[in-house]
């Protein structure tokens, strides 16, 4: 009986894989419009009511791990006067908060209508005011839509949905440093369909009402917005034309450009003097220099085709700098950037004390000390808080928070989780004690007690015991089935052999099916 049950379970997993793989494709092919926001929010309210009357309402979910591997952090936020408190937002893992520089964490967004986070910002005038833009800004097939913008006025203890539910994916939020009721939201819009609820939104009453400040078209969203450090009426916004289907993606278009306002968003001018423009321009990231407010940087994903050594290539990531508040934009470098800027990554940061110290976030983390003329990769020695089988700084960089009062202190969020440096990236502490992994699929074996197996987004395939409690201060009993050189790699379906203990079948990045004897 035991052998038959095992073989039957093994067969069920493969049937589910084959059936739902076909089913999902059919649904995607036939669906022409996204589910309406009111229908999604109605379903959420219905779910909350069902929780209250369910006969199982007192049964609690028990987290069993893992946590040592990390997870895709989209956004990091802290406050200059309270930098021990850190918020991190995961692409598919809600918001977590620490009040002791990462020693322990607690989830603060679990009871809301979405778990996908695009941006978190803390008001400079009040560290208790925190805004969260939901829906990932990494526009991949695995990216989930959000349900608008949320605000907390008590440091994340409670949240209120402040609207913009059709924005789906939010790239950046800017809070006025003097008046926290004035907020700007960069909305990318729907992932798979076109819609008008995208662009740059503004509120002057703390989110009670919203006005569309910058709108290009139903195909063009806004992915980034920054404010002049010396004048809150001056802002720069990065528009991005894009389209994605389940089977294809268009990551550039005529609508991609940088815009500027000098009247707090009442009117906008398109900036073109030196910046590339046209149908081949993709995602754009922006950053102003706190030490030199007239200086602003842009990192551009330039998809213009070129031929090098007889091969068809794209220009790729480029950095442009303006020293006159956007009037002119010379390119800073002559050699290739090698940051890996693309539709998923494309942020740029400037050190608060020196306008010539610049960081570019792509697949790799690149830095410049000469205003962008030359760049070098930041790697450094990595020390893991919990045991991890690699020593590399994980790839795919999504956010970098530079401490305004201590620019040597960097908080880096990537697909491997949170990394903290106190010497500008020479050494990193991997704060891998947050139990957030984006599992694509899970399975079980026939052991007593049984183990759980699964493949994750860029953190490999893992397995671990189902009877383990998640506790601080102990070693995570989960382990990798495989791992790449950079501490990650995508995995999907992962199955234990039903007859031979230690044999595992797993899918690896880009599709190979492999078998391993552990």
Domain assignment present for residue 14? The answer is yes
What is the average per-residue pLDDT within 369-374?
98
What is the average per-residue pLDDT within 373-379?
97
The pLDDT of residue 18 is above 50: no
Other Cβ atoms closer than 10 A to 361? 25
Give the helix/strand (H/E) hosting 131: strand 130-134
What is the average per-residue pLDDT within 214-237?
98
Domain assignment present for residue 162? The answer is no
pLDDT, residue 20, reads 42
Cis peptide before 66 (omega within 30 of 0): yes
Domain assignment present for residue 507? The answer is yes
Cα 126–127–130 angle (5° rounding)?
Answer: 100
Give the helix/strand (H/E) hosting 52: helix 37-53
Most confident range (mean pLDDT) of 11-20, 283-292, 480-489 is: 283-292
Domain assignment present for residue 40? The answer is no
Q: What distances in angstroms separate CA 430 from CA 213, 381, 421, one per listed residue?
A: 39, 10, 9
Burial (CB count within 10 angstroms: exposed 0-12, middle 13-18, buried 19+), residue 257: buried
The pLDDT of residue 295 is above 80: yes
Dist. CA 437–CA 416, nearest whole Å? 9
What band does 307 get if pLDDT is binned at 50, 70 and 90? confident
Domain assignment present for residue 504? The answer is yes
What band does 23 get if pLDDT is binned at 50, 70 and 90? very low
What is the average per-residue pLDDT within 18-35?
52
Give the range of the structural domain holding residue 21, as residue numbers without chain letter.
2-31+444-517
The pLDDT of residue 227 is above 50: yes
Cis peptide before 449 (omega within 30 of 0): yes
> What pLDDT, in 10s, does the model give residues 45-91?
999 999 999 999 999 888 999 999 999 999 999 999 999 999 999 99
pLDDT, residue 510, reads 87
pLDDT, residue 470, reads 85
Domain assignment present for residue 503? The answer is yes
Q: Which residue has the tokens 């790239």?
A: 171
> What pLDDT, in 10s, does the model give residues 119-172?
999 999 999 999 999 999 998 888 999 999 999 999 999 999 999 999 999 999
Domain assignment present for residue 73? The answer is no
Domain assignment present for residue 472? The answer is yes
Tell me how many domains the chain contains.
1
The pLDDT of residue 320 is above 70: yes
> What pLDDT, in 10s, does the model give residues 239-261?
999 999 888 899 999 999 999 99
What band does 5 get if pLDDT is binned at 50, 70 and 90? very low
- Percentage of the chain beyond pLDDT 90 is 87
């Amino acid at each position: 009986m035991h052998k038959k049950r095992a073989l039957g379970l093994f067969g069920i997993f493969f049937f589910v894989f084959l059936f739902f793989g076909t089913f999902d494709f059919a649904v995607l092919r036939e669906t022409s419009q996204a589910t309406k926001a009111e229908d999604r929010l109605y379903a959420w309210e219905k779910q909350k009511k069902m929780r209250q009357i369910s006969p199982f309402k007192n049964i609690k979910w028990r987290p069993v791990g893992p946590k040592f591997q990390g997870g895709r952090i989209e956004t990091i936020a802290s406050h200059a006067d309270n930098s021990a408190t850190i918020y991190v937002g995961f692409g598919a893992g809600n918001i977590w908060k620490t009040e002791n520089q990462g020693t322990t964490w607690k989830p603060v967004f679990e009871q809301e209508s979405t778990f996908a986070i695009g941006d978190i910002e803390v008001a400079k005038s009040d560290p208790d005011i925190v805004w969260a833009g939901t829906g990932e800004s990494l526009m991949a097939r695995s990216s989930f839509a959000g349900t608008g913008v949320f605000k907390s006025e008590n440091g994340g203890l409670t949240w209120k949905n402040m609207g913009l539910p059709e924005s789906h994916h939010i790239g950046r939020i800017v809070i006025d440093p003097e008046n926290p009721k004035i907020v700007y939201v960069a909305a990318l819009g729907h992932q798979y369909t076109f819609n008008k609820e995208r662009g740059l939104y503004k509120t002057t009453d703390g989110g009670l009402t919203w006005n569309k400040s910058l709108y290009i078209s139903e195909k063009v969203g806004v992915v980034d917005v920054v404010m002049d450090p010396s004048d809150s009426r001056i802002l720069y916004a990065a528009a991005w034309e894009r389209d994605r289907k389940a089977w294809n993606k268009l990551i550039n278009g005529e609508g991609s450009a940088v815009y500027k306002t000098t009247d707090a968003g009442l009117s906008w001018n398109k900036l073109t003097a030196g910046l590339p423009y046209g149908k081949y321009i993709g995602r754009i990231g922006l950053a102003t220099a706190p030490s030199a407010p007239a200086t602003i940087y842009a990192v551009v994903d330039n998809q213009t085709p070129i031929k090098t050594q007889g091969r068809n290539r794209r220009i790729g990531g480029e950095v442009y700098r303006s020293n006159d508040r956007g009037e002119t934009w010379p390119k800073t470098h002559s050699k290739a950037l090698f940051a890996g800027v693309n539709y998923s990554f494309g942020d740029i940061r400037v050190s608060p004390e020196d306008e010539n110290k610049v960081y570019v976030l792509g697949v790799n983390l690149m830095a410049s000390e000469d205003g962008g003329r030359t760049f070098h990769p930041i790697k450094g020695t990595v020390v893991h808080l919990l045991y991890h089988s690699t020593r590399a700084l994980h790839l795919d960089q999504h956010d970098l928070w530079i401490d305004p009062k201590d620019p040597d202190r960097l908080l880096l969020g990537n697909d491997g989780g949170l990394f903290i440096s106190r010497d500008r990236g020479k050494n990193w502490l991997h704060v891998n004690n947050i139990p957030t992994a984006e599992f694509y699929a899970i399975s079980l074996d026939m052991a007593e007690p049984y183990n759980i197996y699964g493949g994750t987004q860029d953190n490999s395939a893992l397995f671990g015991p189902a009877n383990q409690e998640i506790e601080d201060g102990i070693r995570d009993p989960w382990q990798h089935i495989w791992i790449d050189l950079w501490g990650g790699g995508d995995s999907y379906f992962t199955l234990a052999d039903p007859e031979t203990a230690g044999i595992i079948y797993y899918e690896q990045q880009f599709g190979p099916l492999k078998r391993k004897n552990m």
